[in-house]
Amino acid sequence: MSVEVIVNPVHPEGLQACERVQALCARTGVPVRVRPTSIARPYGNPAPEAALTVVIGGDGTLREVAGALVGAPGWRGALLPVPTGTADLFALNVGIRRTADGLRVLEDVLGGEVTSRSVIHCDLGWATLERAGGGASAGGTASVGGRTSAEQPFLVTAGIGHSGGALLRTPGWAKDVGGAAGYGVGALTRLTASPLPVTVSAGEGADRVDRDLGVWAVEFGNISHIPYGITVFPHGGVRTGELAGLLVVPSSGREESSAGAWSSVGARPSTGTKPCVRTGSVARTVLGARSVPAARTVPSWGRIFQAGICGGHERVDDLDLMSVTSARVRSIRPLPVHLDGEAAGLVTSLQVRVAPEALPVVVPNR
């Protein structure tokens, strides 16, 4: 067995965790190689021949390493997150809440205390970003003149709209002092922002359904919850085989007040809960009929925050839930986008897809 360590040296606890990993490997006689990340080499050039890749860092470091390994044809190993970042959402959702938890899992692996349930195969999201200046054809593909990025991986969330703007406005000191709660500083600057006109397309080919909406944000996630017991995607998870979609749509941004949100596929509205309709490559959540009060331009944040803590997302008028294997959000004007909590600039299109069970991850024995 060989172990490779990819470490983000920005945080002192990352270097301390790296020393602990080296000591554990030396004690058990397991070869180990350490590669620090940097701006020039954001994922430390992970070697696909390593049986175990230990990633010491946050969600940003983790997604870069995961994308590089999954894209390597010869990779047959597994990944172990040792969280030392700001939010560490992916590690949290696989049961590794603290740095010490990740080191304890490594100790179990090196001691041979690994069962078949210790490795789970997690979904990996892929995002394609189109920058300003590029159009799109009727089929939804980028035109020749567009500036479209190569696919980029994400493990936690990919989002567009005011959520990306909130990340751009979050100062570094807030994250250093408050950790995940520090993102709230940037969010406060965007809570009352006006809806943004976008077209949300779910599915491909004959299954594709388009909606023109005014949104606060559109989010796609591979997770369910975030710190402090808050659930963002009640229908999400690290290995559902789909991306959980969450649209924050104030009433003034809807193009319809009743009927189904995706009624063009023949879904029937339902009272109480929002049924999930699967057609081909896409699963869609359908809105039940509801009476809508006077249009609002600001989401009802009180009810949204309450749902995050107590549940009941499907009963909040300003939230739409859907589960997709592929989707696209387009805008006439450039909008801020983020991948796994890191600002990724301004785009006119965010296209996402899921690679089910693409990433083997070592987790605590269950």
pLDDT tens digits for 89-114?
999 999 999 999 999 999 999 988 76
For residues 172-188, average pLDDT = 56
pLDDT above 50 (res 274): no
Give the pLDDT confidence of 115-152 residue by residue, as tens digits. 667 899 999 999 999 987 654 433 344 444 457 778 99
Q: Would you say the C-alpha torsion 283, 331, 352, 364 has a positive or negative sign?
A: negative
Q: Quick one: pLDDT at residue 12?
A: 83
Tell the burial category of 341 from Cβ atoms under 10 Å away from its Cβ (0-12, 13-18, 19+).
buried
pTM for the full predicted model? 0.83
Alpha-carbon distance of 103 to 17, in angstroms, equals 8
Name, in order, each residue with C-beta under 8 angstroms of 154's C-beta and a sequence gap of 6 or more: 63, 124, 125, 126, 127, 222, 339, 340, 352
Q: Looking at per-residue confidence, does 99 or 10 come out higher?
A: 99
**3-class DSSP state of 257:** coil
3-state secondary structure of 173: helix
pLDDT score, position 284: 40
Tell me the longest C-alpha to C-alpha distance in the chain: 69
Average pLDDT estimate for 40-61: 83
Lowest mean pLDDT among 105-114, 194-203, 311-320: 105-114
